[in-house]
Copies of this chain bind each other. A is one copy, B any other.
């Protein structure tokens, strides 16, 4: 598949490299087509790797666009990417509304009665938003074997076929179907985004980011 990845930070680069490993063509998007991190990433990742503007990356995608931007910039980046470049495509939203402006630990800039995923879906109604993967470190997202035993990935979204497409990708990355939990519509993203505060405290308590939530039953 041709997949667009928005964001050149550690999350965007980790996701992009793993998508290349899985056999996809990836165009990494940033504000400038000349972004140094993106150019370095392209150099290191072979012929299936390319980069361009946010709009270039969104237009490149057959169907899947990953939002790997920081939550505070997500709406503005998606505006730059252009809703017309993502119409009917699936936006895999792995961002979190973390606000570091008051120091550590970060607070959430949106929570409780709203979520970043809902704000994105509302701002770009023709895009099919699926919130997922935001509850774990980026090294685990498309490489679940990194954490031993069963653990879970959650899905939130209004479009059932969009979630099915994301499930197919997750399966190809190593996720067992029984460990993928569809929570329901996009409002359920409130719950997964609100996992971040305890995730951050667990990072401190455990001294590692190599952990993930598992729902034991």
Residues of chain A at the chain B interface (Cβ within 8 Å) = 107-108, 111-113, 147-151, 154, 181-184, 188, 190-192, 194-195, 197-202, 204-206, 208, 210-217
Known contacts A150-B216, A183-B198, then 11 further A-B pairs from the complex at CB < 8 Å, ordered by chain A residue: A147-B216, A151-B216, A154-B198, A183-B201, A184-B204, A190-B197, A191-B201, A195-B198, A212-B216, A214-B214, A214-B216
- Secondary structure of the A side of the interface? mixed
Contact of A112 among B112, B148, B202 (CB under 8 A): B112
Bound CA span A107–B187, Å = 12
Given contacts A181-B202, A201-B184, contact A194 B111 (CB under 8 A): yes
Bound CA span A206–B216, Å = 11
Contact of A211 among B111, B190, B191, B217 (CB under 8 A): B217
Chain B nearest Cβ from A200, distance in angstroms: 7
Bound CA span A206–B212, Å = 19
Bound CA span A193–B206, Å = 19
Contact of A108 among B107, B112, B213, B216 (CB under 8 A): B112
Q: Which residues of B contact A182 (CB under 8 A)?
A: 205
Bound CA span A208–B204, Å = 31
| Contact between chains at B205 and A198 (CB < 8 Å) | no
Contact of A184 among B108, B205, B213 (CB under 8 A): B205
| Contact between chains at A215 and B211 (CB < 8 Å) | yes
Q: Which residues of B contact A205 (CB under 8 A)?
A: 181-184
- The closest CB in chain B to the CB of A205 belongs to B183
Contact of A202 among B201, B212, B215 (CB under 8 A): B215
Given contacts A111-B112, A217-B210, A217-B211, contact A200 B191 (CB under 8 A): yes
